[in-house]
Chain A
């Protein structure tokens, strides 16, 4: 029974579309909170405008409101339903801001809704940097010297008092927007102007910069009795100066003595207890001077945050779930640790492993963007890796990135010019850790690197160890020469077989063969919150090369689902939504469900979603070994986006059963030449195209195809490096640029259908029947990537003939490609002629959107069809939609001040929202329609 009997119905506010600084971690926290509240018999309503979320599923909450996050929407919900309390701490800054706004408008008061898990005055205090600073001084916690400025004049006075370098921090902004370091006086006016503009109250705080101080984060939980526990302590490898969201972070803290740590713990508890009266999660950031261990507070966030999702995955302690219970009035001592089920939730997790979180950047998507890392977060996703040493976790993190790195260096992508390397270390960017290793390899002293980067000597020495190991490894010629103990040491330090192969200049297969011959296989350990002190009930595993294996495969029939790795542009939360539903369907069909993924923000890596979770890189070597251990009945690659699909070839060649559409069919759809041949045979029109190996050939093709043309490298994701060209000169430049970035590739040249309409179909095929899930018409014309287009479901202007033709083509293609499961087909329509642009034999970005708009459990149906346990005719599918649903892309351009909002064939949006409209007179739709071509660019 809930502790507060007056609360029976709760509204949770979600975080809306994904933007940089606010990603799917809030789907994780929101859905955890919702499940946690429902366990207590609470009726949960949920508002979020992001359709690609698990939290907005009928499985998660009792009442779902897919509405814009505005006070109007809140009022309409409160009019419709009796809500006793609102929980606004699970949806990031967006949810809090909405709660604050609604509070100012008196909405909560009017409808007699209690705010739980939050104290708005406390939020106000922590968001206003000057108030925060004063408050810290009042309770005896040190902060960096700083001044507040509401004007240009005040700003300049502050700079005069503080000297340079200094930091400008606009008040009330998300993820450090508009802030930054100023190293030189001449850069100050411009930076000050940007900061004042970015703040909604035109207020900035100007701090003395404590560059190079060690940076730490603590995750806390507090209950109504004022009991506080520290769930996780995270050390930033990148010291003060780089936004924590853009820093490589490590847990537990690696370089803290107990004296220094307890000092920090005491300060964190004091800070949290001083902040009003609320029960829930809180994140505190500190800086420590490495010279004398002086401690200063940097900031405090009294809500569930990105780092609490990470802390939950890092420790196994479900912060959001417990925070939701605390908001209901429970105290920590009344709750159990869900991992052990026998011990108390009032405790501090002990780790017997190391986790490394590594951000995933996508600078290539923002041309002209400044890729320097600083106060403003620029990464679009992150990975987490777990190992039994820092180096093992660090290298696994690199392998999880999915950017063709095989680990931390030793993979052909190293730099060799000392000057270039040192320059990059001075201006940190997304490759800093790799350049650090390059520098060590070239003999740059550790001390110099510490001075340049501020990175703690402990981490530098660890990475230097890799350099030493590689030097030793180079002495061998073939894999058979490597002694067993040394081989084990390499693997324990996280080396992939591919890296070892590269150092020896031999084939990866030779290394793997020899390794398996020596019996060097991975063992799996449990993440259990308590360093094995108590028996854990939770099947949450990571791999290492240690003695005992704790993951004992069952005799059950089982299916593995491959996740989609880190979020990045073109592959985000949608695929996690698909994976989670896939797992549920697998269980329902009577199989054991096994998840493999490395993205800590996701719901799929929550330990109570799959029957078994392997928190591992979606990287060939790791996957192969899990398959060898588990011997699954099959692997699903259709749900994890392009990342998972890419693995299909390897599975096919090694005889691992792929569930659903088989590899040859997938390959047929992916290969432009054979796919076009197939379209031709099926009598389906497609734009003229050609393949060129060099610029010469591309120019010849231009004669046949005619301008404008679409130019792109073969086999890339999300339209990467895709351009529209209108003459020979541009074509030549584009082709040369592609070969520079993608050597050994081929260039695809397509006829660009100017002013054509675009549309797409998502469908399910069971081999006998094709079910059209939805047809979406894009508001924007062809030339803008489908992920950046507003898609209207169902079509609003296409003729019946055109729609019927599209359906006919979709059916033909699904059968011809022998699809078992999902397919997405993209069309261009010009003068009522329908062209097929591409077909994707997998879940698409729009699959969750359609499922939400029609309220049909499509992912479940598709998974059961893939498994072969059901046929489409077994389901009664009822689409519920009045009017239209629009999928609206959301961008994060404000993070890149020098980048224009130019849309083209390369995807740039970070997230999406759903908007329901009754009819085409809707003003929202009319606005989108009016602007449809405005941002089209090459």
Chain B
């Protein structure tokens, strides 16, 4: 709360809207696509989620930083958002188990942020105008210069980003004696996905996004997991080709988020860029198989086209639907051990309502 000493900062949007605020985190300049998250807990998990790579994150919760940070609550080895936009930023924190203030954490991770922004006005702006690029700066106060920086910021549509966050080398996790050998395709996998698989006794081998099918198969997996990650699935032809081979392997496959979109593209469905995405931990999804509903954690700016699912209803079985906008949240391939969801059953942050999907995957593995 030591707002006594602060440095002014600017937020400039692609459409020319300008906001004045105060610098938080590192002093510097950051660009990316603006997106907002409505979760009221779990900022650290959000910041470190690789799916947010390259994005400027607007937090709608009005106090951020209250409980500091904790080393066990990272979803990857570093902060992945490119910049942070908040209303009230807490320099100090209160949590006896915590290890650091958010300010120190952002500085250590070289993340530029801005506070004292009318975040609600910003969200309403994005809601009516759609997702767009923006720049934050606490070092440049010349709008023309900021506009130049903005002009060189790439559009998220058609952007491949998984290569920026994927592991470079394969690595192993979990119980190596386990009978459930799962090959994890890392397009930006969250740690809690791996934890959920590990907890259920899986032997994991995590492969880089560009691993070849042969390399993966040499390890002898019993099943495949296709991870979440950033960017546009339409710009990932290599990954789609790999996914086709994985789907044809006859072994159980589970996909989350980007992984879900890759499966869709691999079987010939379309994906599209959403107007402003789903990001938060309160999104309602109905499981059309059981009739039960779940509150889900979501983070995606691209989705799977509903019409192509209808067109391909002979092979695609839609299993989960968003109760707000009827968009596709999950599907299975008929007569195959392949299923995927658009949302995040591993949560972190968010409700644990959907963790049964990991059990479902384990069941497929055990039946194999």
- Write the residues of chain A forming the contact surface with B, with a CB cutoff of 8 angstroms: 225-227, 229, 233, 252-259, 261-262, 265-266, 290-293, 331-333, 342-344, 346-354, 388-390, 456-458, 461-462, 464-465, 468, 472, 489, 525, 530-535, 546-548, 550
Of the stretches B85-93, B105-113, B239-247, the one at the interface is B85-93
Cβ–Cβ < 8 Å partners of A525 in chain B: 120
Nearest-neighbour CB distance to chain A for B334, whole angstroms, equals 25
Q: A346-B284, A458-B93, A458-B94 are in contact. Are A227 and B292 (CB under 8 A)?
A: yes
The answer to whether A354 touches B62, judged by C-beta atoms less than 8 angstroms apart, is yes
Cβ–Cβ < 8 Å partners of B38 in chain A: 350, 352, 530-531, 533
Nearest-neighbour CB distance to chain A for B221, whole angstroms, equals 31
| Complex: A551 Cα to B292 Cα, angstroms | 38
Cβ–Cβ < 8 Å partners of A254 in chain B: 63, 66
Q: Which listed residue (A227, A252, A261, A262) contacts B293, Cβ 8 A? A: A227
Q: Which listed residue (A227, A266, A291, A351) contacts B40, Cβ 8 A? A: A351
Among A257, A344, A461, the most chain B Cβ lie within 10 Å of the Cβ of: A257
Within 8 A of A (CB), among B85-133: 87-88, 90, 92-97, 118-121, 123-124, 127
| Complex: A457 Cα to B90 Cα, angstroms | 13
Within 8 A of A (CB), among B4-43: 4, 19, 36, 38-42
Q: Which listed residue (A261, A489, A546) contacts B3, Cβ 8 A? A: A489
Cβ–Cβ < 8 Å partners of A354 in chain B: 62-63
Nearest-neighbour CB distance to chain B for A233, whole angstroms, equals 8
| Complex: A258 Cα to B74 Cα, angstroms | 12
Among A226, A259, A266, A332, the most chain B Cβ lie within 10 Å of the Cβ of: A259
Cβ–Cβ < 8 Å partners of A456 in chain B: 94
Task: Determine whether B73 belongs to the interface, using a CB cutoff of 8 Å to chain A.
Answer: yes
Nearest-neighbour CB distance to chain B for A454, whole angstroms, equals 13
Which A residue's beta carbon lies closest to that of B87? A388
The answer to whether B120 touches A352, judged by C-beta atoms less than 8 angstroms apart, is yes
Task: Determine whether B295 belongs to the interface, using a CB cutoff of 8 Å to chain A.
Answer: yes
| Sample of 19 further A-B pairs with CB below 8 A, known A332-B293, A461-B1, A525-B120 | A252-B40, A255-B95, A256-B41, A257-B73, A261-B41, A262-B351, A292-B96, A293-B97, A333-B284, A333-B323, A342-B324, A347-B284, A348-B281, A350-B39, A465-B3, A472-B4, A489-B3, A531-B60, A531-B120
Task: Determine whether B222 belongs to the interface, using a CB cutoff of 8 Å to chain A.
Answer: no
Task: Determine whether B70 belongs to the interface, using a CB cutoff of 8 Å to chain A.
Answer: yes
Nearest-neighbour CB distance to chain B for A352, whole angstroms, equals 4
Cβ–Cβ < 8 Å partners of A261 in chain B: 41
Which 5 residue pairs across A and B have the least CB separation, nearest first?
A: A258-B42, A547-B118, A548-B121, A344-B323, A458-B94
The answer to whether A532 touches B45, judged by C-beta atoms less than 8 angstroms apart, is no
| Complex: A136 Cα to B217 Cα, angstroms | 48
Q: Which listed residue (B40, B94, B324, B349) contacts A461, Cβ 8 A? A: B94
Cβ–Cβ < 8 Å partners of A253 in chain B: 40-41
| Complex: A332 Cα to B324 Cα, angstroms | 12
Which A residue's beta carbon lies closest to that of B279? A533
Q: A389-B63, A531-B120 are in contact. Are A349 and B323 (CB under 8 A)?
A: no
Q: A255-B95, A461-B94 are in contact. Are A346 and B39 (CB under 8 A)?
A: no
The answer to whether A252 touches B61, judged by C-beta atoms less than 8 angstroms apart, is yes
Nearest-neighbour CB distance to chain A for B312, whole angstroms, equals 25
Which A residue's beta carbon lies closest to that of B92? A461
Task: Determine whether B251 belongs to the interface, using a CB cutoff of 8 Å to chain A.
Answer: no
Nearest-neighbour CB distance to chain A for B10, whole angstroms, equals 14
| Complex: A354 Cα to B63 Cα, angstroms | 9
Cβ–Cβ < 8 Å partners of A457 in chain B: 94
Task: Determine whether B348 belongs to the interface, using a CB cutoff of 8 Å to chain A.
Answer: yes
| Complex: A708 Cα to B297 Cα, angstroms | 72
The answer to whether B60 touches A258, judged by C-beta atoms less than 8 angstroms apart, is no
Task: Determine whether B147 belongs to the interface, using a CB cutoff of 8 Å to chain A.
Answer: no
| Complex: A458 Cα to B1 Cα, angstroms | 10
Task: Determine whether B286 belongs to the interface, using a CB cutoff of 8 Å to chain A.
Answer: yes
Nearest-neighbour CB distance to chain A for B329, whole angstroms, equals 12
The answer to whether B350 touches A462, judged by C-beta atoms less than 8 angstroms apart, is no
The answer to whether B284 touches A344, judged by C-beta atoms less than 8 angstroms apart, is yes
The answer to whether A255 touches B280, judged by C-beta atoms less than 8 angstroms apart, is no
Q: Which listed residue (B73, B88, B282, B349) contacts A389, Cβ 8 A? A: B88
| Complex: A165 Cα to B84 Cα, angstroms | 46
The answer to whether A291 touches B96, judged by C-beta atoms less than 8 angstroms apart, is yes
* Interface residues on chain B, number (Cβ under 8 Å): 56
| Complex: A293 Cα to B291 Cα, angstroms | 35
The answer to whether A535 touches B73, judged by C-beta atoms less than 8 angstroms apart, is no
- Determine the main DSSP class of A at the interface with B: loop
| Complex: A182 Cα to B180 Cα, angstroms | 56
Task: Determine whether B306 belongs to the interface, using a CB cutoff of 8 Å to chain A.
Answer: no
Within 8 A of A (CB), among B133-147: none
Which A residue's beta carbon lies closest to that of B46? A258
Which B residue's beta carbon lies closest to that of A225? B292
| Complex: A348 Cα to B70 Cα, angstroms | 25
Task: Determine whether B57 belongs to the interface, using a CB cutoff of 8 Å to chain A.
Answer: no
Nearest-neighbour CB distance to chain A for B332, whole angstroms, equals 20
Nearest-neighbour CB distance to chain A for B84, whole angstroms, equals 16
Q: List 15 A-B contacts (CB under 8 A).
A: A252-B41, A257-B44, A262-B351, A333-B284, A333-B286, A347-B323, A350-B61, A351-B61, A352-B60, A458-B93, A462-B1, A472-B4, A531-B120, A532-B120, A546-B118
| Complex: A346 Cα to B283 Cα, angstroms | 9
Q: A258-B41, A262-B352 are in contact. Are A290 and B96 (CB under 8 A)?
A: yes
Task: Determine whether B269 belongs to the interface, using a CB cutoff of 8 Å to chain A.
Answer: no
| Complex: A534 Cα to B325 Cα, angstroms | 11
| Complex: A332 Cα to B292 Cα, angstroms | 10
| Complex: A14 Cα to B70 Cα, angstroms | 48
| Complex: A550 Cα to B325 Cα, angstroms | 25
Nearest-neighbour CB distance to chain A for B70, whole angstroms, equals 7
Task: Determine whether B347 belongs to the interface, using a CB cutoff of 8 Å to chain A.
Answer: yes
The answer to whether A465 touches B1, judged by C-beta atoms less than 8 angstroms apart, is yes
| Complex: A229 Cα to B283 Cα, angstroms | 11
Cβ–Cβ < 8 Å partners of A530 in chain B: 38
Task: Determine whether B339 belongs to the interface, using a CB cutoff of 8 Å to chain A.
Answer: no
Task: Determine whether B343 belongs to the interface, using a CB cutoff of 8 Å to chain A.
Answer: no
Which A residue's beta carbon lies closest to that of B278? A533
Q: A546-B120, A548-B118 are in contact. Are A344 and B324 (CB under 8 A)?
A: yes
The answer to whether B351 touches A265, judged by C-beta atoms less than 8 angstroms apart, is yes
Task: Determine whether B67 belongs to the interface, using a CB cutoff of 8 Å to chain A.
Answer: yes
Q: A461-B1, A468-B4, A531-B38 are in contact. Are A262 and B350 (CB under 8 A)?
A: yes
| Complex: A333 Cα to B321 Cα, angstroms | 11
Nearest-neighbour CB distance to chain B for A312, whole angstroms, equals 17
Cβ–Cβ < 8 Å partners of B323 in chain A: 333, 343-344, 346-347
Q: A343-B324, A465-B1 are in contact. Are A532 and B97 (CB under 8 A)?
A: no
Cβ–Cβ < 8 Å partners of A472 in chain B: 4
Cβ–Cβ < 8 Å partners of A464 in chain B: 1
Which B residue's beta carbon lies closest to that of A340? B324
Cβ–Cβ < 8 Å partners of A290 in chain B: 96
The answer to whether B295 touches A352, judged by C-beta atoms less than 8 angstroms apart, is no
| Complex: A465 Cα to B4 Cα, angstroms | 10
The answer to whether B124 touches A532, judged by C-beta atoms less than 8 angstroms apart, is yes
Nearest-neighbour CB distance to chain B for A87, whole angstroms, equals 24
| Complex: A465 Cα to B88 Cα, angstroms | 13
Q: A461-B92, A532-B123, A547-B121 are in contact. Are A258 and B45 (CB under 8 A)?
A: yes
Q: A253-B41, A531-B38 are in contact. Are A389 and B62 (CB under 8 A)?
A: yes
Q: Which listed residue (A258, A349, A465) contacts B73, Cβ 8 A? A: A258
Cβ–Cβ < 8 Å partners of B62 in chain A: 352-354, 388-389
| Complex: A354 Cα to B40 Cα, angstroms | 11
Cβ–Cβ < 8 Å partners of A489 in chain B: 3
Cβ–Cβ < 8 Å partners of B41 in chain A: 252-253, 256-258, 261-262
Cβ–Cβ < 8 Å partners of B40 in chain A: 233, 252-253, 350-351
The answer to whether B97 touches A292, judged by C-beta atoms less than 8 angstroms apart, is yes
| Complex: A255 Cα to B286 Cα, angstroms | 31
The answer to whether B94 touches A548, judged by C-beta atoms less than 8 angstroms apart, is no
Nearest-neighbour CB distance to chain B for A552, whole angstroms, equals 13
| Complex: A350 Cα to B94 Cα, angstroms | 22
- Mark each residue of chain B from 47 to 87: 1 if its CB lies under 8 Å from any CB of chain A, else 0: 00000000000001111001100101100000000000001
